[in-house]
Amino acid sequence: MQSEQRKSQRFDLRLPMELVRRGSEPLAKSTETRNVSSGGVLFHSEGQMQVGEPIEYFITFPAANRDNAPVRLHCVGTVIRAEQRNQSPVRDKPFSVAATMERYEFVRVRS
């Protein structure tokens, strides 16, 4: 039996995510997180990404109440796993991508 070797706990969170840069290529691709930890994120992508490739993305957290604006987490990391999913239920996003969260900052969305 193989034990889990993860450094940080994962949370199954489906949050809006926007890919803004892959390597040196600017992007504007929307997707959704599958799970998030303090060290990284797993999401589904429409395009294949290369392991080791730098990535920049935003994760949007909903407002705590209707008086507050949503908060975005601006992240920079590296792709650590990228694979085509078998029998993908989401046809437009057939790739599963795991990326680190090496640097991040919270950005308040102005309403």
3-state secondary structure of 30: strand
How far apart CA 34 and CA 11 sit, in angstroms, is 9
- Going by pLDDT thresholds of 50, 70 and 90, the confidence category of residue 21 is very high
Of 12, 36, 31, residue with least CA distance to 20:
31
pLDDT at 15 over 50: yes
pLDDT at 22 over 70: yes
| pLDDT tens digit sequence for 23-74 | 888 888 999 999 999 999 999 998 889 999 999 999 999 888 888 888 999 9
The confidence score (pLDDT) of residue 68 equals 83
| pLDDT tens digit sequence for 64-99 | 888 888 899 999 999 999 998 876 555 678 899 999
Q: How many residues does the chain have?
A: 111
User: Strand 54-61 and strand 71-84: pairing?
Assistant: antiparallel
Residue 68: CB partners within 8 Å, gap ≥ 6? none
